Amino acid sequence: MNPELWPVVDELLLSEEERNVYVNRKNAVVLYFKGIGLKRIHEQTGVHPKNLRRLIHRCILISDDGLVWGFRALIPQKKVKPYQLNLSSKKKNPSRKTGEFKLLLETYPPLQDLIKDLFLGNHRRSLEPAMKPHHIHKKFIDTCRTLGIPLHQYPFNTDHLGFKALQRYVTKLSFMYFGKNRTRYGQDAITKAKHTGEGEQNHPSTLHPYQKVQFDAHRIDGFFIIEVMTPEGDLIPIVLDRFWILTLIDVATRVVLGYAISLNKEYSAVDVMHCFRNTVIPHEKVTVSIEGLKYNQTGGFPSEVYPSSTAWAVWDMIYFDNAKSHLANLVQDRLKHLIGCDINLGPVALPMRRGIIERFFKILEETGFHRLPNTTGSNPDDPRRTDPEKNAVKYKMSFDHLKQLIDILISDYNGKPHGGIYHQTPLELLGKRLNAGLLPRQLEEELRKEVLFMQVTKTATIRGSLKSGKKPYIQFQGVEYRSDKLGQSAHLLNKELILHVNVDDLRTIRTFLPDGSEFDYLAAAGKWSITPHSLQIRKAINSLVRQRLIYLTTWDDPIFVYTEYLRINATKGKRGAANTVTQVKESTRKRTTINEPEGQTEALERVEERNAALERAREHTKKEQTDREYTEYKDLMKLYKTKL
């Protein structure tokens, strides 16, 4: 035993009389462990040898926290052992019932099991979800009678039949089983008890920018509209269902690194990767068309304000919950092999684990969306909620306006003082850390391609037939993919190709041979290669074709047909159709891709030339058919007039 390792006592909290007793006891115990004789210890401290042995025994007892009592056991009147009733003791006071309840439970273990099961809801002793103490007491007394406990013994010899003692016992049970009683306190309380208040997350000391980031999504508290053209040619406003904003924030500086908007009912893995892509790629301000709305000069995004240090910067650790979209293979693979970061998966529905980003969402709503006439407020009873859908239509609050508003709100947030960082602005603190040499990692030059953020790896068998003369091709999501090189590679028939698929744009697919060597860029057959479209859109179109809700011919652009189908459904008021229309428009909008691979550009150019040639051939064929039909008509009329 080494007293230097024992728990200590703050002596200043004791009264002067208690302090004198404690100090003498402490000195006596310390001298004993130094090997000083009992007689000498008695002379120096006044502690009798018999009392000293008792004190040492108290010090080495194990307390409820798993440690020895140590010097804490030397505090005057300190209880180190629970009270144990001794029925044979001559000092026992018959009028006091202290310890009787505990002795009863030790004598009759079924009583203890009954109380515990009823209070914690175990073993289906009762269908009542959260039994109250007085109901438990009723069962307790009934069981005491069943066990044959005489009426002159405890608990029948007390005024309240042991109810007060039972109350104290169930309170002690709630402490002992903290975080384990779902039926009594609910799943939310249990989840918080299990996953908060422990670990490194509760002792943050992050100084390095981009060392730790938090990710989460928040459903925007407001309605917005899009304008859709009816079959009669009229533009009408359609209200969008509420959608999501996904955000990444730096723990050290509180600066928002990037964001994305998801129009899906539930955001997907692709939406998560859009947020990561927008964070790493240098940010560009949106074009503002709302009169009077402008960016604050002190705000901005890190890659705009500190481009040399934060453009293409990546993080070391990301915190988010166990939502399905976060666990998807696309997200896990890109974080590991592209970003190169560690993942900390916290529990679902536990926002306090990501308190920094949750506070940002609250600021975003309170300073932005909750001030608009189309706000839904923070709950259905919020007085700020005054017919938000009607107001969205009345004031023409469009989706394009939302995109401008979000970009400006986040930009301004980064330039406003923040209480959590001593009233500095996030961008100001970020600049100080960067000037101090705390620079983040930046993505390697060869990895700075936008398509890599949305890339998944698949395999496909090369199909074709020597017998029928069908050239080699592969099939992916119901569409054939070809290239001149593949068409001339009959020796690869029935072999596998490794596909690097950009789930944001399925017009082309990059392929590799099984040994890892690059093969070629394959282009989608027919009109599938005209309009950019995502994997989600391709699956939706294929599903509608299988259900025979839309029909595609060789000359139809599938994305155009799909958009028309959605537009008609949106004008009919089909739920979610307006969101899907907007999502398709955003996905198919042609924009400049950052560092687009040269092979992909060449493949798309060849496809455009081929489609243009096919279109010319179609027009020529159509003209010939029209001329032929006109000639036949003239001959028929001439013949008809002759007969007359």
Per-residue pLDDT tens for 351-365? 555 688 889 999 999
What is the structure's pLDDT at 90?
47
Q: Where are the alpha helices (DSSP H) in 301-377?
A: 302-305, 307-310, 324-327, 329-334, 355-367
Provide the CB-side half-sphere exposure for 637 (13 A, CA): 6
Contact yes or no for 463/334 (Cβ under 8 A): no
Residue 222 has φ and ψ, to the nearest 5°, of 180, 160
Q: Which domains are seen in the chain, by residue range? A: 3-74 (no CATH), 100-195 (no CATH), 204-447 (3.30.420.10), 450-601 (no CATH)
Report the SS3 class of residue 244.
strand
Q: Where are the extended beta strands (E) located within 348-462?
A: 441-442, 455-461
Convert 358-387 into a string of H (helix), E (strand) and C (coil).
HHHHHHHHHHCHHHCCCECCCCCCCCCCCC
Which residue in 223, 148, 278 sits closest to 388, CA to CA?
Answer: 223
Q: Give the pLDDT score at 644.
A: 39
At residue 203, the pLDDT reads 46
Ranges of the chain whose pLDDT falls below 70: 1, 83-98, 123-124, 127, 129, 178-205, 231-232, 346-354, 590-598, 611-625, 627, 629-630, 633-634, 636-644
pLDDT at 544: 92
A 10 A CB-CB count for 606 gives 16
Q: Phi and psi dihedrals of 89, rounded to 5?
A: -70, 140
pTM for this predicted structure: 0.70
Task: Look at the block and give the residue holding tokens 């993942």.
Answer: 343
Query: Alpha helix locations (H) across 108-206?
Result: 109-120, 133-146, 163-176, 182-195
pLDDT of residue 323: 79
Residue partners of 3: CB distance under 8 A and separation at least 6: 29, 30, 33, 59, 70, 71
pLDDT of residue 98: 65
Antiparallel, parallel or unpaired: β 317-321 and 212-219: parallel
Residue with tokens 């979209």: 325
pLDDT tens for residues 306-316?
Answer: 999 999 999 99
- pLDDT score, position 411: 95
